[in-house]
A and B are shown apart, each in its own frame.
Chain A
Amino acid sequence: MAFATRLVNRELALEACTPLAHPENAEALAALEALLAPPVRAVRFGTGDRQVTIGGKYVVSRHEFTYHNPTACAIAVDDASPREVLQDRVRSAARFSYNYIGRDLGIDAIAVRSTTGDPARFREAVETVQQACGLPLLLCSPDPAVLRAGLEAARDRRPLIHAADRTNWREMGGLAIEFGCPLVVSAPDDLAGLRSLTRTLGAWGIQDLVLDPGTFPGTGLARTLRNFARCRHAAIRGDDELLGFPLLGAPIAAFAGEEIDPVRCAFDEAIMASALLSRYADLLVLQGTAGWSLLPTLFWRFNLYTDPRKPVAVEAGLREFGSPDRNAPVLITANYALTYFTVESDIKAANLSCYLVVADTGGLSVESAVAGRYFSAAGIAEALAASGIADRVDHRVLVIPGLAARLSGEAAEATGWRVLVGPKDSSGLGPFLKEHWPPRPA
C-alpha cells in the first residue's frame, strides 16, 4: 500500500515495481499505465543515461500538485558552421555546469538546425555533433530529405524530429515511423492546425508527439503565451487529448527578430525563456551559450520544478567545520538549502574552523524567515539549546546573520548569549571573523 501511495503521489515511477516488467504482468502494467497516464503525455528522446523525458504534466499551476520532468534546455547549432566552430560550440554547451545548492545545472540537448538545406551538410553536422558530445538531439528542418540524412547519421540516438506541418506531415510521419523517433508538430499560431495534425498522426499510430505552437519575438510574445496557455488548459482542464502533448518553446526566436545586437538578443532570449518556463514550456531551444544569459533560465527551471509540497530544506542541527576548539566561533543560519549551501561553501572557502547552528526556519532563507517570523529570538534560543553547543565551547558569543540584525537585542535577551551581528552575505565571514574573533571583552 505504501508503494501504491508513493506511486499515486508520483514519488515513484511505475518502473520501480520490477515484477511489473515481467511478461506475465503485461496486462496489469498496461492497465496501470492507462490509469496513471498524465493528461499531458510524457515523451522521451535520446538514449541511455542522457535520455530526456519531457511533458508528463498533471496540473496547470505547480501549487496544485507539483510539476514533473523539468523543462529540457537545448542549445542550437547550425549546419553552415565550419566543423571546428561546431565542435567548440557543442563541447562548451555540453560542458556548461553551474553548482547551485549542491546540484549541477546544465544543458540537456543539442538542436541541430539546417540553414543550408543541404542533406549532405546536415548529415555531416549531425555526425560532428555526435562525436563531440553524448547529449540527445533535436533535428530541425522543414525539408524531409534533409531530415532523412540527419536521421540516418543519428540512427541509434532516437532524436526528436522538428517538424511536421500541414504540408509535409506525410513524409515526416513516415520518418518518425521508419526511425522510431518522436516528432514535433508545428502550426504557428494555429491551434486548430495543431489538433488536426495530432489527430491525423495519432490515427496513423504516431503517439510520441510534441507541440510547437510557435514562439514569436517582441510584441508577438502575447500571442505566444496565449497559445501555450490555451494548449495546457485544454489538455488539463478540458481533457483535450489532441492538445495533450509537451510544448516546445523557442526563445531562440529572439535572435530571428528585428534586433541585431547579439548581447541584446541574448538578454531578450533569457527573458523569453523565463516567461515560457512560467507558462508551461516542456522543452526550450536556445541560441545563447554565455553563462550570464543561461543562469537565470537554468535557475528558474530548477526552482519551478522543485516540489512545492516539500520545502528545499536541509536538516536543522549542529554542523562542524575544520577543527573547532573550545574557543571556536559559533554561527547560526537558516535551514533553506540555498542559504545553508552558500554559507557552507563560504566557510570552506575561507578555511574557517567553527560551529554552525542550522535553525529550523521552515526551509526559508534568513531574510524571508525574519520577515515571516520563522526566524525569531525565541527560535534562535531554541536552536541553540537543541544543538548542545553550550557543552562544546567555553564562550557564550553567537554570530547571527547580518540580515537578521534586527533580532540582535531580543536574541541576546532570549539566549543569554552575547550576540554579534555578522555580515549580510556569508562571503564576508572570513574578513568578519578576522576582525571580530576572538571577540573583544564586552
Chain B
Amino acid sequence: MTSTKTYGLVLTAFGAAIIAVLAQITIPLPLVPITGQTLAIGLIVTILGLKYGTLSVLVYCLLGAIGLPVFTGMSGGLSILVGPTGGYIIGFIPTALFMGWYLNKFGYTYIHGLIANVSGMMITLAFGTIWLKFVADMSLYAAFMAGAAPFILLEMMKGVIAAWVGILVRHRLLNANLLKLV
C-alpha cells in the first residue's frame, strides 16, 4: 500500500500537468474563442479542492517560470513573470488559495462554485493590475484601463464556465467513486 504522502506529491504533479495541457485548449465560440489558463486554473481548483488545487497551481507557475511553454499560447519563461503581465501569473496562487478555501468552507455546489470562480477571476485581475501599475510606472487608473477593463467581461464568462463544468466533472467523478484525493 502506498503512503498518502507520495501519492499526494505525484497527484499534485499531475494536476500541474493537467493545467498545462488545458491551458492550450480552445473552445471555439463565435467572436471570441474561449482559451487558456484562467479557465484551467478555475477548473483544477474546483475539481481538486484547496490543497491539491493550490499546490498544482503553484507547481504550474514554477514550470512556466523555468521556461516550459505552459502559459497561454505556448509561452513561458521567467520573462513572462517579471514582465508587465507577470502579476496575473503570480495572482493565480492567491486566487487558487481563496477559491479552495471558499469551496471547502461552503461546499462544492453550483452556486458556490460560481461565487468562488467569479471572485477568483477578480483576484487574478486585481493582482495583474497592481503589478502593471508598479512595473510600468503607471497610475492605478491607467493600469486598470490597460490591464483589467478589456478582459473583465470575458473573464467573468470564463468564471461561469469553469464553475459549471468544474462542479459537473467533480460530481461525476464523485458519483463514480473515482475522485481519489488522498
Is B a genuine binding partner of A? Answer: no
Q: B residues near A, CB below 8 A?
A: none
